[in-house]
Amino acid sequence: MLLSNRVAIITGGARGIGKGIALKFAEEGCSVVISDVLVDEGKKTVQEILNKGKEGAFVRCDVSTSGQVQSMIDQVIAKFGKADILVNNAGIGGVPKSITEISEEEWDRLLSINLKGCFLCCKAVVPHMKERRYGKIINLSSLGAISPPVPTIHYSAAKAGILGLTVDLALELAPFNICVNAILPGAIPTDMWNPLVPPGIDKEIFFAEIGKTAAPMQRVGTPEDVAGAALFLASELSSYVTGDRILVGGGAPLVARFMK
């Protein structure tokens, strides 16, 4: 198994992409810590991991609050003795709006969770990784960081900020054998996408139609698609890969998506 004897922290791991990554890592022998504000769903995901005979734990944490982040990392180290892998997946979506419609409060909240949360988690875990001279940090950005499909400037700005954080941190931590990379998911329908579904429209039909034009592969993606990329970056298959990014978008934003 690719992640035997490894310990991973997955923020926002209760559902969606985070859950898909958590289950994939557990299948590969990893002990998984789910960090989320969704307590019931987080514990349910951990139970799925335990039911597979793997080791898992849940820690409630609001990643935008430094005290909670530090407490979460401390609990992981106390229980498992180490943290080999950090997946910064926690985030919220932004409803498409013009810049003139986005309030300062909306801007601050989204960047506090999506970008500041990534910074705080990295800041708290890095000393432990440096001490052991090993670590894998995977930051979830978005295709919207480089090719936004609709105007969501606060969301796109936060996800673009994650790319900057990733390459800078990769440079700093490379001498310590710590790899830092980013994944840019494309159209991966999760609960975060629900507000985009028009009233009275079947969600599956809606996303199937989006998939026809969202990517050259003519389908939307799944959490499992992202989990495969995360597994590569978390394993020794990518031991010489750092400061890089992987687009998981079925070929988007290639020009070919507009061709018939």
Across residues 182-206, what is the average pLDDT?
Answer: 83
* pLDDT(260) > 70: no
Is position 145 within any domain? yes
Give the long-range contacts of residues 49-53, CB within 8 A, separation 24 or more.
Answer: 49/22, 49/23, 52/23, 52/26, 52/27
The 3 state secondary structure assigned to 111-132 is: HHHHHHHHHHHHHHHHHHHHHH
Instruction: Confirm whether 180 is domain-assigned.
Output: yes
Evaluate whether 170 touches 233 at the Cβ level (below 8 Å): no
Q: What's the mean pLDDT when you consider all of the chain? A: 94
Q: Tens digit of pLDDT for each residue in 80-114?
A: 999 999 999 999 998 889 999 999 999 999 999 99
Q: What are phi and psi of 195, to 5 degrees?
A: -65, -15
- For residue 72, the surrounding DSSP H or E stretch is helix 66-80
pLDDT score of 78: 98
- The answer, yes or no, to whether residue 259 has pLDDT greater than 70, is no
Residue 52 lies in a domain: yes
**Residue 189 pLDDT level (bands cut at 50, 70, 90):** confident
Matching residue, tokens 């407490």: 71
Q: What mean pLDDT do residues 155-180 have?
A: 98
pLDDT grade for 255, boundaries at 50, 70 and 90: low
In this predicted structure, what is the pLDDT of residue 20?
A: 98
The CA–CA distances, whole Å, from 114 to 79, 98, 154 equal 27, 19, 10
Distance CA 249, CA 257 (A): 11
Residue 1 lies in a domain: no
Burial (CB < 10 A; 0-12, 13-18, 19+), residue 153, is middle
For residue 18, which of 122, 196, 140 has the smallest C-alpha distance? 140
194 SS3 class: helix
Q: What pLDDT is attached to residue 136?
A: 98
For the chain, how long is the longest CA-to-CA vector?
Answer: 56
**How is residue 77 written in tokens?**
């180290």
Beta bridge partners of 56: 32
Q: What percent of the chain stands above pLDDT 90?
A: 81
> For the chain, where are the E strands, in sequence order?
7-11, 31-36, 56-60, 85-88, 135-140, 178-185, 245-248
Burial class for 190, CB neighbours closer than 10 Å (0-12, 13-18, 19+): middle
Domain count, the chain: 1
Is 240 annotated in the active site? no
Token pair 């054998």: residue = 177
- State residue 198's pLDDT score: 78
- CATH classification of the domain holding 152: 3.40.50.720
Let me know if residue 248 belongs to a domain. yes
192 vs 156: which has the higher pLDDT: 156
pLDDT at 42 over 80: yes
Q: Is 145 helix (H, G, I), strand (E, B) or coil?
A: helix
From 25, 58, 119, 155, the catalytic residue: 155
DSSP 32-47: EEEEES-HHHHHHHHH
Query: Within a domain: residue 2?
Result: no
Q: Which of 2, 117, 111 is nearest to 63 (CA)?
A: 117
The pLDDT of residue 257: 47
Residue 49's pLDDT band, with cuts at 50, 70 and 90, is very high
Structural domain span for residue 80: 7-258
